Structure 1
Amino acid sequence: MRRLPICYATVLYDFLEHRKIISIKSLHGSAQLLLDVTGGVTQIVERMHRTIAREVNPLNRLRDIAGAPPEERRGRTYQVIQSTTSMLQHGLHQSLDKFSTEEEPLHSPQSVKVAAALNGVCGDHLEASNNPLAITMHFYNSHGEKVLPGSEKVGAMIPNASPRIVVLVHGLCLSHEYWKGHNEGNLGTELQRAHGFTPLYLNYNTGRHISCNGKELSKQLQALVEAWPIEVEELTLIGHSMGGLVIRSACWYGTELGQSWTGLLKNALYLGSPHHGAALAKAGNLLTFVMKKFRYASPFALGEHTSAGIKDLRHGNLLDDDWEGIDQDDFHPDYRKPVPLREGTRHYFIAATIGNNVSDFKSMMVGDLLVRLDSAKGQHSDDLRKLSIRPEDCRVFAKLNHLDLLDNKVVHDQILEWLV
């Protein structure tokens, strides 16, 4: 199990600080994560201590070369700390597991957002360790209520259901709450009012592999259209940032499995999605790779502790084949399998740049601060990876950053124009 470094304690503190109600489930998950952080810090300190000891005492170096068992190389103090941590984790599970299945109380939008950030940075670890704080994929309606496709209550949860469905998929470290907007308005309700769509908002664990979320989204979309109270005529998917990659992954797996929802998919929109990777993820990977080459810096290469979802953003991985059997902390070439846009669906791309002119050098290189323009527009030097789109289906907006794409009026107006 991956140990977590102390930096994740800050996100956890924010999570607890913004909770209106501390349920047993939240207490269980928070305590479990704190113990994981303790184990991670102990591991870092131990690695640094052992590195220094090897330099001071040549006999320690000989023991490492001779292949002494890890338990012999580990100091007695560190063994005690890790053993104590493991005992506490076991006791925690025994004490609180039976209470963690309780229904979660309603939380403030702020606490939901902080929980989403926590899942973004270490969501794969939360899932693998069965931590109650791990977010499970769900649809939400405009009132913030969960919509369960397999339930008989779907009709009651979706009053006045339309044959036109739009599903909005958020990006890394975000949640469905971000679509509600804090400046210009709610894109989902605007589409409902202007064009008769029924909006649903997806919430999911962005720390998981993109391909895992893509496969699950495909499965849930199939269940959704089958349970919809009236016949579905049209499905539209809108993804912001990582959400656009999850949509493309779902389209691939849905098509491969012959699922009927793909035939209903008329439109797919990508808002600032890093189709060929995000610059920040690439820089983080390079820094981690370099730090691991130096003995004293290696224990502090915290990038290797980031989530699988973040690592997928280095190249824009969409499929299991893109990461299985590959050390994602290594500085390796782009091994992705080319995934073309799904035929029979109209694909729209929106990108942004913080510059005043979309065609100047600064705008091309910096983009919206997180995603460069060429990646957001699907451009690539390799024709097999390049996403073929029509000029009229791509817009670039100046003086906007990555998060502005969620709730900016000019962006909303363009989407409304496309989805008539």
Structure 2
Amino acid sequence: MNNTIKESDAKTKNHVNDLKGLNQLAQEGILGVVDVVDSVHQSVLNLGGTLSQSKQTNGLTGFIYRSIRATTRLSYRTINFALSRFTPLLPDVLLTKRRDHWVAVLNGIIGDHLAATDNPLALEMTLVYQDQEISIQQAAILWSNPNVKPLLLIHGLCLNAQSWQQKDHNHGQALAKGGQYLPIYLNYNSGLAIADNGLKLAQLMFELNTLLAEQQKINVLAFSMGGLIVRSALQLAEKDKNLWPHRIEKLVFLGTPHQGALLEKTGHLMEYILKISPYSAPFVQLTQIRSQGIKDLRKGRIHDDGQSVRLPRHIKSYAIAGTAKDDKAPHKKMVGDGLVTVNSALGRHPKKSRHTGIPKKHQFTVFHVSHLGLLSSKEVYDHLEKIFVD
């Protein structure tokens, strides 16, 4: 079977859609700044007393701010209309990796907002093979080859399928050469709530399950946030009594913040400090400009009810943690790879109810490595090779 996608299937898009998306964001950004300035103005007017419930000024000042908002909306609607008129006249262009990268970053930061406002820059959950998007049906055909082992790779926050390529190394491609694996990558909007992406993944796996031969198994390598999304999908499948989780043979978590991530916790503290004073309260809006996906990382939240469950016992689960220091500095080791602590990445927690259930013999720690460095680490790949190939 030929495991290649035709050149004609390469991803193209009319770049006017990107311009529309940026135009929409520019409008929202200006309006957001106006709202902050208006709110600060209102706070100043109320100094000496309690902060008013009204977040906007009244009278002549309020009229001026409302006029600015109306003018801004009209200007950007005009630009959007002009772009729509020119769309049929412009050719589609081949999307570049640089463009895909900044779109992935943008989705990680405000992806939930992009989706809620129907912004053209919002990413959908898709499958990628050889740098090209493929359908679920195409993935099933590729994985139906009896001479290959299916491998699904799921990226982390602000990343995409191309992010697995780091320093001339790609864990998926290396496993394809060393163990006959056929890697297919998942792309998704990492700014959405983890539970929302978990639902999308569960639906994708449900459909894929109906297309594969009964004996075909799937292996999963999930990096960072990607691991939380897998766990969310598995929890939903268990709740709905779906059968697709039985296709999962091995599941490896790479730098996944099972118990939460450090940076989001720091941001949460900043919000709390700003809310203490009425003078700084209006600027809290600026610190809240981050997606629900990022907020869910604070406690490793994988479901709307906030509850966490152990992994299915039939799945062979593994966890690989990274730490920037060595084992001679235990107080530093706790910090982990700069984003995720070692205990969080290994799924450990003081409360047994929060344990992921990953066996201790399946837990590994790699030293002198950063979070993103896990994707290019030779030591990490050595562990992956032993897990997937041996």
TM-score by length of 1: 0.82
Q: Equivalent of 1:34, from 26, 32, 53?
A: 26
What is the CA deviation profile of residues 188-223 of structure 1, one whole-angstrom value per residue up to 9, with x for unaligned ones? 122222222211111111100000001101111222
Contact 1:175 1:204 in 2 (8 A): yes
1:147 and 1:157 in contact (8 A); partners too: no
The residue aligned with 2:333 is 363
Partner of 2:102: 114
Q: How does 1:61-140 map to 2 (within 5 A)?
A: 72=58, 75-91=62-78, 96=83, 105-140=93-128
Structure 2: gaps (5+ residues): 1-11
Asked whether the 8 Å contact 1:358–1:396 carries over to 2, the reply is no
- Note closer, same or farther for the CA distance 1:320–1:93 as it changes in structure 2 (3 Å cut): farther
- Higher mean C-alpha deviation, range 109-118 or range 211-220: 109-118
Partner of 1:182: 167
C-alpha distance in structure 2 between counterparts of 1:381 and 1:236, whole Å? 29
The alignment partner of 1:110 has SS state of helix
**Residues 384 and 155 from structure 1, CA distance in 2 versus in 1: closer, same or farther, beyond 3 angstroms?**
closer
Deviation digits for residues 151-198 of structure 1 (CA, Å, limit 9, x no counterpart) = 5x5567779575631111111111111112224x22112222222221
Instruction: Indicate yes or no: 2:131 matched with 1:144.
Output: yes
On the 8 A contact 1:268/1:346 being kept in 2, the answer is yes
CA distance in 1: counterparts of 2:190 and 2:305, whole angstroms: 19
- Aligned residue pairs total 375
What is the CA distance between 1:373 and its match in structure 2? Answer: 1.0
User: Is 1:257 aligned with 2:250?
Assistant: no
Q: CA, structure 1 residues 100+390, in 2 after alignment: closer, same or farther (shift >3 Å)?
A: farther
1:280 aligns to what?
263
In the superposition, relative to structure 1, how do residues 87 and 249 fare at CA in structure 2: closer, same or farther (>3 Å)? same
1:93, distance to aligned residue in structure 2 (A): 5.5
Partner in structure 1 of residue 290 of structure 2: 306
CA positional deviation for 1:341? 1.1
Relative to structure 1, is the Cα distance of residues 274 and 100 closer, same or farther in structure 2, using a 3 angstrom cutoff? farther
Residues 207, 307 of structure 1: 8 Å contact kept: yes
Are the counterparts in 2 of residues 28 and 100 from structure 1 also a CA contact under 8 Å? no
Amino acid corresponding to residue 340 of structure 1 in structure 2: R
Select 1:201's aligned residue among 185, 210, 219. 185
SS at match of 2:222: strand
Aligned partner letter, 1:406 = L
What is the CA distance between 1:357 and its match in structure 2? Answer: 1.9
- 1:318 counterpart residue number: 302
Identical-pair percentage = 31
Stretches of structure 1 lacking an aligned partner (at least 5 in a row): 1-19, 323-336
Per-residue CA deviation, residues 386-406 of structure 1 (Å, 9 max, x unaligned), is 223222201101100100111
Length-normalised TM-score, structure 2: 0.88
Partner residue of 1:270? Answer: 253
Q: CA deviation at 1:226?
A: 2.9
Q: Given that residues 163 and 232 in structure 1 are in contact (C-alpha distance below 8 angstroms), is that contact kept between their aligned partners in structure 2?
A: no
> SS where residue 121 of structure 2 aligns?
coil
What is the one-letter code of the residue matched to 1:76? F
Q: Is 1:344 the counterpart of 2:328 in the alignment?
A: no
Relative to 1, partners in 2 of residues 1:174 and 1:86: Cα closer, same or farther, differing over 3 Å? same
Cα deviation per residue 1:114-136 (whole Å; 9 max; x = unaligned)?
11111111000000000000011
C-alpha contact 1:353 1:400 (8 A) present in aligned 2: yes
- Tell me, yes or no, if the aligned pair for 2:41 and 2:57 is still in contact at 8 Å: no
The one-letter code matched in structure 1 to 2:167 is H
- Partners of 1:218 and 1:254 within 8 A in 2: yes
CA distance in 2 between counterparts of 1:157 and 1:344 reads: 25
In the alignment, what sits opposite 1:6?
none
Contact 1:122 1:306 in 2 (8 A): yes
Deviates more, 1:353-362 or 1:311-320: 353-362
The residue correspondences of 1:393-408 to structure 2 (distance < 5 A) are 393-408=362-377
The aligned amino acid for 2:313 is E
Q: CA RMSD in A?
A: 2.7
Query: Deviation at 1:249?
Result: 0.6
* Mapped partners of 1:259, 1:104: distance in 2: 40
Q: Distance in 2 between matches of 1:69 and 1:241?
A: 38
5 Å-filtered alignment, 1:153-192, equals: 153-154=138-139, 164-183=149-168, 185-192=169-176
Report what 1:330 is aligned to.
none
The answer (yes or no) to whether the contact 2:111–2:122 under 8 Å persists in 1 is yes
**Could you list the per-position Cα deviations for residues 89-125 of structure 1 after superposition, in whole angstroms to 9, with x for gaps in the alignment?**
5555655568889996432212211111111110000
Offset of residue 224 of structure 1? 2.5
Cα gap change, 1:96/1:252 in structure 2, threshold over 3 Å: closer, same or farther? farther
1:387 corresponds in structure 2 to: 356
- Are 2:42 and 2:55, in contact at CA under 8 Å, matched by a contact in 1? no
The SS at the match of 1:320 is coil
Q: Cα distance, 1:70 vs. partner?
A: 5.6
Q: Over residues 302-360 of structure 1, what are the superposed CA-to-partner deviations in whole Å (9 max), with x where a residue is unaligned?
A: 222211001101111100222xxxxxxxxxxxxxx131112210110000110022762
